[in-house]
Structure 1
Amino acid sequence: MVHDQYAERYAAHRWKIPPTFNIADACCRRWADAPERTAILSEDAEGHQASYSYIDLMHAANRLSNALRARGIQAGDRVAMVMPQRFEAAVSLIALFQLGAVAMPLSTLFGPEAMAYRLQDSDSVAAIVDARGIETLTSVRAECPALSTLICVDCTADDGLDWTTLLAAASDEFPCEVTAPDDPAVLIYTSGTTGAPKGALVPHRAMLGNLSGFVASQNGFPQVDAVFWSPADWAWTGGLWDALLPTLYFGQPIVAYSGRFSPEVALSLMARYRVTHTFLFPTALKAMMKAFPAPRAQFDLHLRAIMSAGEAVGDAVFDWCQSALGVTVNEMFGQTEINYIVGNSATEWPARPGSMGRAYPGHRVAVIDDAGRVLPPGEEGEVAVHRLDIHGDPDPVFFLGYWKNQEATERKYVDGWCRTGDLATQDAEGYLWYKGRADDVFKAAGYRIGPGEVENCLVKHPAVANAAVVPKPDPERGAVVKAFVVLAEGFSPSPALIDALQQHVRGQLAPYEYPKEIEFLDALPMTTTGKVQRRVLRLRELAKSEDQA
């Protein structure tokens, strides 16, 4: 039985923000005095392995900082990074931070339109890219007039500078720029689930704002022999702020794997590197649960903590983590703009299946209505975080604003509260219960439907690997519940299976929640951050309805 230490931890937390702060100094330079301290354990899809110390990381970053400065790149300039998890990606981040420049991580999965939009909108002056992103980037480079410098890692391009040659010619000594906590560090674009992506400008101090949640969700990090790994792409908030940077902040090693995710790869990596702490998004956990119901029978695992975020975990996955992995999963909730604000910590307060958790120490979180009024326990509203903590001190986790979009920044706030766009209820003990994105919840025959509950119920059926629920327009009832289902291995679509899945939901949830229609897909549309794009499916159903009309 976990002793509930939440109230004392939450009340005792005080923010201590120094007058100057730079992520490069906190996450690399201060650890670069011990040759034996490992920073990055690298492996690619072909199985090639390498180990890099914090000294290796600092020297390479210093060389890159000098090379960038020699080409006129200075504090405040935006520099794009298009690389998977690899040592050079970590080097680039540290180099840009200590230069005072703004790092803009981009996914290697972006197509030309997504890539061009971000490069143009940010006015990026340089890009660092490897073989996975070079074709897409070069195809849009002519559309990005500000992009004057291109650095190629293990690839070539017209006018591209070779990474190895560039660093070999530069000095491995570089004085870290003195930056204020409010100086910008990262420009990271929202995933675009509800419209055009917006660039969230995140300051150096956000590193500190993330830490109380990271430590809690990882059951007290760092620990002896701690090793971190997550499949989360370092180009998005989950991989950058929830995995890479906090691990480096505590001077621990993180595994960088640049191959594709699969349940077998994930479990093999965690066994091979004796991974103790991880962030696994619900989509990954669902796939692992279906592929390996009893993973510890096949893999020598050493897990001490699992954090999950991005979607609701659901009690099916929660129970599997406890029974099959031997770890209580800690759900976490945050956003690109305000990360690591709510969650669980299985060793400090009881985790409740299906709950998002409580406000992490240092963050004042409430459920509010449209006018910004705090709602009482049990009443549904929007999750929001106040700019000031319970002691009246500024919360350092907040972003600076949306890049070149002051209007959107102002809409994000009401009366000191930063709105998340996510709906929840809060119980008397402070636990939040997710109800869905405000734009994902819909009404069918007059009933309010949160897709997460229906999706979680479907995934409990052995035939279902993943599911997404959206409204299908209906002339009589306004909308009916429709489910898109990805089948688990060994199952095939059939009318009998549709009926079985419908009866399965009817037997577990309210009658109005069962899917009146089920469509089987090979894969659900996903953002690069692993979130289901229900909007894509919803718009598809709307277009079909209009065509039929």
Structure 2
Amino acid sequence: MKLQDLPSSSPTAVFDGHAALHAGFRWQVPAFFNLAEVCCRRWARSQPQAVAIRTEGLDGRLSLLRYCELQARANRLSNALRRLGVKRGDRVAVALPQRAETAVAHIAVAQLGAVSMPLSQLFGPEALAYRLQDGEVGVVLGDDSTLPALREARAECPALRTLIAVQAEALGEGEQALDLLLARESAEFTPVRTRADDGALLIYTSGTTGPPKGALIPHRALIGNLSGFVCSQNWLVDPASRVKLGPSGVPADAVFWSPADWAWTGGLMDALLPSLYFGVPIVAFAGRFSPERAFELMQRHRVTNSFLFPTALKAMMKAVPAPRERYKLKLRALMSAGEAVGDTVFHWCQQALGVTVNEMFGQTEVNYIVGNCSQGLGWPPRPGSMGRAYPGHRVAVIDDAGNECPRGTPGDVALHRLDVHGQPDPIVFLGYWRREAATQAKFTQANGQGWCRTGDSAVMDADGYLWYQGRSDDVFKAAGYRIGPSEVENCLVKHPAVANAAVVPKPDAERGALVKAYVVLALGFDGSAALVEALQQHVRGRLAPYEYPKEIEFIQALPMTTTGKVQRRVLRLQEEARAEQARLPGRDTAA
């Protein structure tokens, strides 16, 4: 299948502009669809020797996994899982980092008709036990990075029958070695015929607000992701049009890499699976992220396309201000998501990396719905903007009652269940796992319109560009003024002393709340009263007077979710707890 054979309209329409692109776009969702077929099996038939995954070990060694090998190993694992009692619809947890076995596992589970549950290697025993219990998981795959925590969590998970260990030295009761398991199975497997609406993935929300919930993602969601993927990656074409095209219609030299965890929607649905869908080799590296290593990986693997979240880009900008003076980069397209990039990082990407970063917005439940496309496709990025609705997605800013807000008025970003042609949007999730009330609360019916709320606040301008304000519960009022934290944070990061920042309300008896900033300092800077004053003046001179932080606290690291998002809720609750403590009898409230 080539790029022009997407289950949608031809990309030739994009040059008529954003509105024309939406008008001419049609989703093509077959009744029966399985992500394992389009991400692996078809390539194993048509180009078996093509490289699917390039794995770089911590020792620097490189190994290649070709589509024929990926399919054979997935077939063996499907047979093994069936023998272990996994049936259609059962949940199989994949607690693995970026490595070939992660892709093998997801392909194997999908073609078995079961549901994959990706789990991050960063999760501790308590986080793992919560998800394994909630998802009623019977089988889980782990490696040396997750096995200790899985073993500890297992005591709280009576339904968990089998732990499949990847390259483990010693096995315990109820554990099986993956290599030995696969060696006993056939490399032939007849895939289960799944409907496009069948569940494929159970991905738990990052927990920025409240306990994580399992979002059940159907096979069709991969189709819904494709318009956003190709737009965020500038249609995956070579701007100079000098590179030979491969079998999928993309440049033969295309290579994708992202540090995004493959257990997160951003790593799995925005990097691994769409790369496999287009037959683009993806680099797997399970080591810790560092700015220098990121540049080294991009240079060594001649990476052309990437997804780098804002926290990574900020770290890279501070550590290596002029990367092209040190590294030979082949980067052609760059997408970012998770937080607002901000104009400082935006301009650095243009000047230092030589690419215009395409911001994207989405979430686990409705991924890849808003973003930018920087190469002549009708809506050039605007610094600081989330972008506009991707083809096939009807997006609006709505109020509490579910009515569309006037342009320029803040509200909740929402996705309509139907596209502009009245057809179901394939990207919409099936619902929260066994949480009917939460699922119903996610959707709003108003004036006959069915909206799926994202919980993120934004403003839509006259041209349809969205400007992020923060999580709906992150936006707060101080002295009667509405404060969107991302604008203040972006302004702080422009100062050379600031590596990262988070802005939250601090309870105040007179004003209701004060603007408080938690600041992570860049290397070479020390926190001081003079620096606090300098940062306050820096913001005061660039934003509205009421937006500058009345208080600044220096901190070693911001609390983050496993998906790279700042957990402002943690800091907000900390401020509320401090305020409550200060009100206790016997406390010197003036201190």
TM-score (norm 1): 0.99
Aligned to 2:427: 397
In structure 2, distance between residues paired with 1:234 and 1:467? 26
Aligned to 2:156: 143
In structure 2, distance between residues paired with 1:8 and 1:51? 42
User: Displacement of 1:44 after TM fit?
Assistant: 2.0
Would you say the 8 A contact 1:138–1:157 is kept in 2? Answer: no
Tell me, yes or no, if structure 1 residue 472 matches structure 2 residue 506.
yes
User: Displacement of 1:224 after TM fit?
Assistant: 3.3
1:369 corresponds, among 399, 404, 409, to 399
Tell me, yes or no, if structure 1 residue 7 matches structure 2 residue 22.
no
Aligned to 1:154: 167
Pairing 1:67-466 to 2, within 5 Å after superposition? 67-155=80-168, 156-159=170-173, 160-221=175-236, 222-347=250-375, 348=377, 349-415=379-445, 416-466=450-500
User: Displacement of 1:274 after TM fit?
Assistant: 0.5
Would you say the 8 A contact 1:57–1:91 is kept in 2? Answer: yes
User: Displacement of 1:494 after TM fit?
Assistant: 1.1
DSSP-derived class of the 1:28 partner: helix
- Gapped regions of structure 2 (runs ≥ 5): 1-13, 237-249, 584-591
In structure 2, distance between residues paired with 1:142 and 1:316? 48
User: Displacement of 1:3 after TM fit?
Assistant: 6.8
Would you say the 8 A contact 1:344–1:351 is kept in 2? Answer: yes
Aligned to 2:527: 493
DSSP-derived class of the 1:367 partner: strand
DSSP-derived class of the 2:541 partner: helix
Would you say the 8 A contact 2:97–2:261 is kept in 1? Answer: yes
For residues 80-109 of structure 1, what are the alpha-carbon distances to aligned partners after superposition, in whole Å with 9 as ceiling and x for unaligned?
Answer: 111100000000000000001100000011
The aligned amino acid for 1:362 is G
Would you say the 8 A contact 2:49–2:68 is kept in 1? Answer: no
The aligned amino acid for 2:298 is M
User: Displacement of 1:35 after TM fit?
Assistant: 3.6
User: Displacement of 1:4 after TM fit?
Assistant: 7.0
User: Displacement of 1:41 after TM fit?
Assistant: 0.2
- Greater alpha carbon shift after TM alignment, 110-119 vs 371-380: 371-380
Would you say the 8 A contact 1:126–1:150 is kept in 2? Answer: yes
RMSD, matched Cα: 1.0
Any runs of at least 4 consecutive aligned residues in structure 1 with deviations exceeding 6 A, and if so which?
Answer: none
For residues 227-254 of structure 1, what are the alpha-carbon distances to aligned partners after superposition, in whole Å with 9 as ceiling and x for unaligned?
Answer: 0000000001000110000000111100
DSSP-derived class of the 2:519 partner: strand
In structure 2, distance between residues paired with 1:9 and 1:157? 55
Would you say the 8 A contact 2:232–2:371 is kept in 1? Answer: yes
Aligned to 1:538: 572
In structure 1, distance between residues paired with 2:252 and 2:70? 22
- Gapped regions of structure 1 (runs ≥ 5): none
User: Displacement of 1:512 after TM fit?
Assistant: 0.9
DSSP-derived class of the 2:155 partner: helix
In structure 2, distance between residues paired with 1:341 and 1:92? 27
In structure 2, distance between residues paired with 1:143 and 1:391? 48
The aligned amino acid for 1:183 is D
Would you say the 8 A contact 1:3–1:350 is kept in 2? Answer: no
The aligned amino acid for 1:437 is R
TM-score (norm 2): 0.92
For residues 41-86 of structure 1, what are the alpha-carbon distances to aligned partners after superposition, in whole Å with 9 as ceiling and x for unaligned?
Answer: 0012221210110111000100100011111111101011111000
DSSP-derived class of the 1:90 partner: helix
In structure 1, distance between residues paired with 2:150 and 2:253? 39
Would you say the 8 A contact 1:45–1:260 is kept in 2? Answer: no
The aligned amino acid for 2:534 is A
In structure 2, distance between residues paired with 1:118 and 1:386? 29
In structure 2, distance between residues paired with 1:255 and 1:234? 12
For residues 99-120 of structure 1, what are the alpha-carbon distances to aligned partners after superposition, in whole Å with 9 as ceiling and x for unaligned?
Answer: 0110000001111111110000
User: Displacement of 1:459 after TM fit?
Assistant: 0.3
* Percent identity of paired positions between Structure 1 and Structure 2: 67
For residues 444-479 of structure 1, what are the alpha-carbon distances to aligned partners after superposition, in whole Å with 9 as ceiling and x for unaligned?
Answer: 111111100000000000000000000111111111
- Greater alpha carbon shift after TM alignment, 424-433 vs 113-122: 424-433
Would you say the 8 A contact 1:134–1:157 is kept in 2? Answer: no
Aligned to 1:513: 547
The aligned amino acid for 2:333 is A
Report the count of equivalent residues.
Answer: 548
DSSP-derived class of the 2:32 partner: coil
Would you say the 8 A contact 2:22–2:420 is kept in 1? Answer: no
The aligned amino acid for 1:393 is Q
DSSP-derived class of the 1:47 partner: coil
1:18 corresponds, among 16, 30, 36, to 30
Tell me, yes or no, if structure 1 residue 51 matches structure 2 residue 64.
yes
DSSP-derived class of the 1:220 partner: helix
DSSP-derived class of the 1:143 partner: coil
- Greater alpha carbon shift after TM alignment, 518-527 vs 39-48: 39-48
User: Displacement of 1:5 after TM fit?
Assistant: 2.3
User: Displacement of 1:157 after TM fit?
Assistant: 3.3
In structure 2, distance between residues paired with 1:429 and 1:516? 34
Would you say the 8 A contact 2:171–2:177 is kept in 1? Answer: no
In structure 1, distance between residues paired with 2:554 and 2:15? 44
Q: 1:377 to 1:4 in 2, by over 3 A?
A: farther
User: Displacement of 1:223 after TM fit?
Assistant: 2.9
In structure 2, distance between residues paired with 1:307 and 1:252? 16
In structure 2, distance between residues paired with 1:201 and 1:53? 30
Aligned to 1:36: 49
The aligned amino acid for 2:201 is V
Would you say the 8 A contact 2:539–2:548 is kept in 1? Answer: yes
DSSP-derived class of the 1:370 partner: coil
In structure 1, distance between residues paired with 2:471 and 2:156? 34
In structure 1, distance between residues paired with 2:133 and 2:322? 48
For residues 304-360 of structure 1, what are the alpha-carbon distances to aligned partners after superposition, in whole Å with 9 as ceiling and x for unaligned?
Answer: 110000000000000000000000000000010000000000011211111110100
